[in-house]
Every structure is written in C-alpha cells, then in structure tokens.
C-alpha cells in the first residue's frame, strides 16, 4: 500500500482524490486542509466514486499527522502558500515524487529555491499541465509543424491563471522552451479573480519562441462565441472546441473534417497519472525543471503589467 498526500482539499484537491479512487493500486491517502468544510466536501466526493475495498483516507487539518515516508504528494493549494507548504512537507517527511498545481508560485525566486530542495532530497517533480496527457495533443505533437501558430479566443476564461496551460502546450508541440512575451495589448485594468484576494487580466497576450512559433491568447469581454483553440501552419488548421468537437480544415484542398475528441476531467486523470509515476518513475506531465523555464518569464511579464497599471512595483504576482 502506497502513502499518498494531497495538500489542499478545494476544488482541484477533491478531484485529485476522486481520481485516486480509480487507480488500480491501493493507497493510504492523507488529505490535508485547515478548512473543515473543504475536508467534508472532499470526503463526500470520495464516497461518490470509491469502492468498499478501495484505498483508505485520513482527513487532517495540518501536515503534522502525515507519516515519515510519503511515496507521492500532490500540492493543490493556492499559489501564495505553495512554497511554504512544500518546505513544511519536506521538513516533516521523506518524499519520492511530487506533483505541483499551477500557477506554481507567485514569486520568480521561489522556483530555484524549491528546485534546490528537490535536488537535495532526491525528489522527482512535475507540474500538472494535463494537456500533454491527452491523446489528441500527443497525436498533434507527432506532426511535422515547422512554424506553428496557436490562437486562443474566449471571454472570462482566466487569462492570467490559465496562460501557463497554453504556453505549456506551445512548448510541448514545438519543443522550444525559450520564449518571449508581449504584454502591450493587455487591458490597462486589473480585474478581480473568481477566487478571493487574487487578480485577473484581460486583453491579448502574445508569446513567441526563438524558432518563430506564435501563441496568441485572447480574453475579450465582447467575445460571444465558444471558447476556441486554433492550431495551424501553412498547410493545415485545427479549430478545437474542447469537450465538444474538433474541426479540421485542410488548406490545400479546403476539405473540412470533423471528429469528436475526449477532454477528461481531473477526476478521470489523476489515477492514471499516479499509476504511471509509481510504476515507471516517469510521467507525461511537465517536468518541474522544464516548466520553470517559461513559468518564470510569464510571472515576470505579468508583474510588469501589474506594475504598469497600478503604478506600484509588483514583485509578488497576485494570481493563482
């Protein structure tokens, strides 16, 4: 039986817990959250999907109740406390594998600090950018793209907190981690996030690789269509409506093909992801050392935008 820790029992943490119930393995799971209501929600959600002979779960309000040896931990807290949580966890126990939710941290310097801790303790770590695990995007990666253009269009989809997902997709498809970010077309307004005490951004964000690939992210108030991801080059274009359909337009002959794609929920993914890590020591998720290479420039760009709009020097990016 493997020891698994989930720290943070909110929306994502409780879905990770449901996903573990679908694993092929047996776990002793420790769910840690100081909020009693969050623990109750997590407990009820686990009951919805667990089997009588499935894993055992302990619900705790602090890390002190976690055993000395943990095989894998998932940190599903908000970004503002994640560094502290990782530090406390490593003070408390020996850990083999770590999955971090994103945005990983709010301060750029936290990445190297935590990286040193991971190296010193021999811990392998990944960031939960899940599109890399989807069969459709794996199939796209195998194509010969040359220069690729990705465009995301929508309204109120969380440009600040979700940009890392799309930047990661760009890096995954191109293999290029060296990016430049243009913030000139972001709106000069700071918006309140759906989560208390955090902020959001709207407008257009552009990202470029050193190979000439482009990612354009649009979160526009006036946009009234369906949320869409388009991926194209000079020969072919994919219009992706995740969870609904995939429209393929071949530019060479104007033929249009439509097929259904599957976009699994986190509760359907976590069990498979954890099984893969425990069986092989590897994961389809983004390695921490890779993700930090473009996570840090993204935070720095956002901080520059927040500083410009507020007229104050912002060093702690207020997103999660």
| pTM as predicted | 0.96
Please list the ranges in the chain whose pLDDT falls under 50. none
Q: How far is CA 112 from CA 122, 192, 214, 275, in A?
A: 15, 29, 27, 28
Beta bridge partners of 248: 238, 257
Q: 59 near 49, Cβ under 8 Å?
A: no
Note the pLDDT of residue 145.
79
- What burial class does residue 210 get, using C-beta atoms within 10 Å of its C-beta: 0-12 exposed, 13-18 middle, 19+ buried? exposed
Structure tokens at 213: 């690939």
Phi, psi of 310 (to 5 degrees): -85, -20
d(CA 278, CA 286): 16
Reported as a single tens digit per residue, the pLDDT across 66-115 is 999 999 999 999 999 999 999 999 999 999 999 999 999 999 999 999 99
d(CA 79, CA 91): 19
Conformational region of residue 66, where left means phi above 0, alpha means psi within -120 to 50, and beta covers everything else = beta
Q: Tell whether omega for the bond before 103 is within 30 degrees of 0, i.e. cis.
A: yes
CA distance 37 to 306: 33
In the three-class reduction of DSSP (H, G, I as helix; E, B as strand; rest coil), residue 61 is classed as: coil
> Looking at residue 259, what is its pLDDT?
83
pLDDT at 252: 66
88/92 Cα distance (integer angstroms):
6
Strand ranges inside 103-189, DSSP E? 124-127, 149-154, 179-182
DSSP 69-83: EEEEEEE-S-GGGHH
Q: Is 273 exposed, middle or buried (0-12, 13-18, 19+ CB in 10 A)?
A: buried
**β-pair partners for 205:** 217
Query: CA torsion, points 294, 218, 158, 313, in degrees to nearest 10?
Result: 60
* Strands 69-75 and 94-100, bridge-based pairing: parallel
How far is residue 305's CA from residue 63's CA, in Å, rounded to a whole number? 36
Render pLDDT for 104-148 as a digit per residue (tens, 0 to 9).
999 999 999 999 999 999 999 999 999 999 999 999 999 877 899
Paired strand residues for 2: 27
């Amino acid at each position: 039986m493997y020891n698994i820790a989930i720290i943070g029992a909110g929306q994502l943490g409780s879905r990770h817990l449901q996903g573990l119930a679908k694993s092929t393995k047996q776990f002793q799971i420790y769910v840690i959250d100081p909020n009693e209501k969050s623990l109750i929600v997590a407990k009820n959600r686990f009951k919805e999907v667990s089997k009588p002979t499935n894993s055992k779960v302990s619900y705790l309000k602090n890390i002190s109740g976690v055993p000395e040896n943990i095989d894998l931990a998932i940190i599903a807290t908000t970004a503002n406390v994640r560094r502290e949580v990782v530090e406390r966890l490593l003070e408390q126990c020996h850990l083999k594998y770590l999955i971090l939710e994103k945005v990983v941290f709010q301060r750029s310097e936290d990445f190297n600090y935590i990286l040193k801790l991971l190296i010193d303790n021999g811990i392998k770590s990944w960031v939960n950018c899940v599109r890399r695990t989807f069969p459709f995007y794996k199939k796209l990666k195998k194509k010969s793209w040359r220069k690729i253009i990705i465009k995301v269009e929508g309204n109120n989809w969380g440009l600040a907190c979700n940009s890392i997902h799309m930047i990661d997709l760009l890096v995954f498809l191109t293999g290029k981690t060296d990016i430049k970010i243009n913030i000139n077309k972001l709106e000069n307004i700071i918006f309140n996030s759906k989560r208390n005490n955090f902020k959001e951004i709207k407008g257009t964000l552009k990202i470029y690789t050193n190979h000439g690939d482009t990612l354009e992210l649009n979160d526009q108030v006036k946009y009234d269509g369906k949320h869409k991801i388009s991926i194209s080059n000079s020969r072919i274009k994919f219009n992706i409506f995740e969870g609904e359909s995939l429209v393929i337009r071949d530019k060479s002959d104007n033929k249009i093909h439509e097929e259904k794609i599957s976009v699994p929920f986190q509760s359907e993914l976590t069990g498979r992801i954890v099984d893969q890590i425990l069986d092989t020591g590897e994961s389809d998720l983004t390695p921490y050392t890779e993700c930090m290479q473009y996570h840090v420039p993204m935070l720095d760009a956002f901080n520059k935008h927040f500083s410009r709009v507020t007229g104050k020097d912002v060093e702690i990016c207020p997103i999660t």
